[in-house]
Structure 1
Amino acid sequence: MPQTPRPRFGIMTAPSQVDYHDILRVWREADAIPEIEHAWLFDHLMPIGGDPSGPTHEGWTLLSALAAQTRRLRLGLLVTSNRFRPPAMLAKIAATVDIVSGGRLDFGIGAGSRPSHPLARREYDAHGLPFHDSAHAVGSLAEACTVIRRLWTETEPFDFDGTYVHLTGAFCNPKPVQRPHPPILIGGRSAPVLRVVAEHADLWNIPGGDIDDAVGRSALLDRYCTEIGRDPASIIRSIHLPVSYDQPGITRDAIGEALDAGFRHIVLGLSAPYPANAAQWVTDELITTSA
């Protein structure tokens, strides 16, 4: 009987409506606490909550800075919008962050924001980025995962002529530190995205909130893996759970439900402003009581 992997807990600090030094304080504190194993940012260019004209830091730039200021935490974006950056450029950015971090990158990627989210939609027009339909978003995500993995692992330049991605003489040097490549985490819940997860992901992340839905989506992922001959257990199940500072019991209950449902990679979302000693509070109130 295979042994159930132990849960791995991490934190997420959305880099919006908050100062860089506040995020840095929390990450440095977390870096010194072994129970916190990973830390995450999000990938938006404008606020999706709070003051719509408030500050939002660019995710990959900030991640590289935090990678240089930490030593132990695994780190990533939950998740990179594949709509924002051409995949070959993204492969180069991610390889650089893996090098800066000494091989600690978990590469999070997704199809991009839902058209139904108006505050997320506006950032495309504001930055001159095209916003294609869902079929385009999912198809280009699958091609991006293929191209990015090839750029990280292949030693010779190659051409790629896909439906959405076209490259000539593509090559990535230097390569990431991790071999064969950084773990790929794909976030999302729609059936088309889950098919991409089955094909390409090492980890799959879903936002928490409705554990029954998460369980159903996980079962659908199992089915898609089986259809292509992949062991469903080879994909680590990850879930993002918002933290309640005032009512930690609610978060503890959500963690328990997620663990019982087979989610072993738990991302605890911290809202700003962060309390003093936030990482230690998370460890004492949520992690050590749940692990």
Structure 2
Amino acid sequence: MTGSHRPARRPSFGIMTPPSQVGYADLLRVWREADGVPQIEHAWLFDHLMPLGGDPNGPTFEAWTLLSALAARTERLRFGVMVTSNRFRPPAVLAKIAATVDVVSGGRLEFGIGAGSRTDVSWARREYDAHGLPYHDAAHAVGALAEACALIRRLWTATEPFDFPGDHYRLAGAFCAPKPVQRPHPPLVIGGQATRTLRVVAEHADRWNMPGGSIDHAIEVSARLDRLCAEIGRNPAEITRSIVLPVSYDRPDDTRQAVREALDGGFDHIVLGLSAPYPAGVARWVADTFTDTSNPAPRSPR
């Protein structure tokens, strides 16, 4: 297994806490603890409106509302939604939401976005039906994602209102104020692995996130992204490679091996997915266990 020819970056480590089947107090506890652990540089939520597992009628928080609350209670962490479904919110409204969160946090937002869940998956269909969200095929979803990325970036940077006569979105007198704190705008993190989505990544992303799967497959997809960048004349080294790796509390050596393989494969933005219930001191345990895999692994946190 070999990585890309891209120059190595200093790796950064973060956590993901799915805001489902868990209480706000527990999420806040983990984020505030992580905020005080320097090895953990970023934290993430996912964007679903109903549970993906467990009790189908259990709690799931709306990601951006929760993100704003967590932003106000942390000081150092960069953070975002990995990744926002472009199917759930009109992009001009999403641009306003994201700008608000960046202001609340003092400029720490990483703006994650993707085409959204496939509607042929049973839990996705339930989520859409329960919220009156329209179905569209993959081609429509990816075309809308490309327009949304261009539109959101323009809303964050335009100094005057503008019209946007897109194929998927049509706006008149569009404008976003206040602007995000970060200039020219928060980093765009686009998730996905289908080739048509990777074309959007190549054009618009500052960071690409591989949502999961085997490391070997992730490396193959990353190489495909390199080729798509070359097709449009973009340097693939401009796009940081990010991957979500699930954490095993009971078999941490398995996760440590996955981290080593991901780093060797050119992924230098590591998002460690935590499952609820969160053990006491989990953020410190994550930092001690996974951010330096050359040291002996601490015991399970449970």
Asked if TM exceeds 0.5, the reply is: yes
What is the match of residue 135 of structure 2?
131
Local SS of the residue matching 2:103: helix
Cα offset for 1:57? Answer: 0.1
2:242 maps to 1:270: no
Corresponding letter in the other structure for 1:154: A
What is the match of residue 156 of structure 2?
152
Number of matched residues? 291
Unpaired runs of 5+ in structure 2? 296-302
Please list, as runs of the form range in 1=range in 2, the aligned pairs for 1:51-62 lying within 5 A after superposition.
51-62=55-66
Cα offset for 1:207? Answer: 2.0
Instruction: After superposing the two structures, state which structure 1 stretch, 156-165 or 206-215, moved more.
Output: 206-215
Q: 2:94 aligns with which of 65, 70, 90?
A: 90
- Normalising by structure 2, report the TM-score: 0.94
2:255 maps to 1:233: no
Give the % identical residues. 72
Corresponding letter in the other structure for 1:184: L
Corresponding letter in the other structure for 2:74: T
Runs of 4+ with deviation above 2 angstroms: 288-291
Determine the C-alpha separation between the residues in 1 that align with 2:33 and 2:121: 33
What is the match of residue 217 of structure 1?
221
Report the CA distance shift for 1:290/1:220 in structure 2 as closer, same or farther (over 3 A): farther
2:192 maps to 1:188: yes
Corresponding letter in the other structure for 2:14: G
Alpha-carbon contact 1:256-1:290 (below 8 Å) kept = no
Cα offset for 1:231? Answer: 0.3
Cα offset for 1:290? Answer: 5.6
Alpha-carbon contact 2:161-2:175 (below 8 Å) kept = yes
2:285 maps to 1:247: no
2:291 maps to 1:287: yes
Report the CA distance shift for 1:148/1:290 in structure 2 as closer, same or farther (over 3 A): farther
Determine the C-alpha separation between the residues in 2 that align with 1:219 and 1:78: 21
Unpaired runs of 5+ in structure 1? none
Task: Render the CA deviation track for 1:181-236: whole Å, top value 9, x for unaligned.
Answer: 00000000000000000000000001233111111110110011111110000000
Cα offset for 1:285? Answer: 1.3
Alpha-carbon contact 1:113-1:121 (below 8 Å) kept = no
What is the match of residue 29 of structure 1?
33
2:15 maps to 1:11: yes
Corresponding letter in the other structure for 1:178: Q
Instruction: After superposing the two structures, state which structure 1 stretch, 212-221 or 91-100, moved more.
Output: 212-221
What is the match of residue 300 of structure 2?
none
Cα offset for 1:3? Answer: 5.3
Local SS of the residue matching 1:266: strand
Corresponding letter in the other structure for 2:60: T
Determine the C-alpha separation between the residues in 1 that align with 2:213 and 2:279: 23
Cα offset for 1:2? Answer: 8.2
Alpha-carbon contact 1:255-1:290 (below 8 Å) kept = no
- Normalising by structure 1, report the TM-score: 0.98
Cα offset for 1:123? Answer: 1.0
Local SS of the residue matching 1:106: strand
Task: Render the CA deviation track for 1:129-171: whole Å, top value 9, x for unaligned.
Answer: 1021101100000000000000000100000111101100000
What is the match of residue 77 of structure 1?
81
Cα offset for 1:120? Answer: 2.0
Report the CA distance shift for 1:242/1:157 in structure 2 as closer, same or farther (over 3 A): same
